[in-house]
């Protein structure tokens, strides 16, 4: 797979995804992604992106939590 930005090779690795939703922060660790070896741009599959969106929605609404740290591999297993 080639990077859509710089056309360098992409490698599969697990990354940490963060989403700041104003009143808090959701951190999701161990997310499978394609990362450019040159520019570092990160790409998620459509399936992973949809799962991330659901996870963020679920944990962003947790009452009183300013920061939620989640393991992707444990949440989708």
Q: How far apart are CA 18 and CA 59, in angstroms?
A: 12
Is there a domain that residue 60 lies in? yes
Q: 30 CB contacts (<8 Å, ≥6 apart)?
A: 14, 16, 71, 72, 73
Q: pLDDT confidence of 75, banded at 50, 70, 90? A: confident
In this structure, is residue 5 part of a structural domain? no
- Count of domains observed in the chain: 1
| pLDDT tens digits for range 8-38 | 999 999 999 999 877 788 899 999 999 999 9
- Cα distance between residue 55 and residue 19, in whole Å: 10
Considering the domain boundaries, does residue 49 fall inside one?
A: yes
Q: Is residue 3 part of a domain?
A: no
At residue 64, the pLDDT reads 64
What's the CA gap between 77 and 64, in Å, rounded? 26
Domain around 44: 10-76
pTM score, two decimals? 0.84
CATH number at residue 22: 3.10.20
User: Could you tell me the CA-to-CA distances from 29 to 1, 5, 16, 36 in Å, in that order?
Assistant: 23, 24, 4, 18
Query: Which one is predicted more confidently, 57 or 35?
Result: 35
């Amino acid at each position: 797979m080639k990077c859509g930005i710089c056309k360098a090779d992409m490698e599969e690795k697990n990354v940490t995804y963060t989403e700041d939703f104003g009143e808090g922060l959701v951190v999701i660790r161990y997310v499978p992604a394609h990362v450019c070896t040159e520019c570092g741009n990160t790409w998620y599959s459509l399936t992973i992106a949809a799962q991330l969106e659901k996870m963020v929605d679920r944990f962003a609404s947790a009452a009183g939590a300013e920061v939620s740290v989640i393991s992707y591999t444990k949440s989708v297993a």
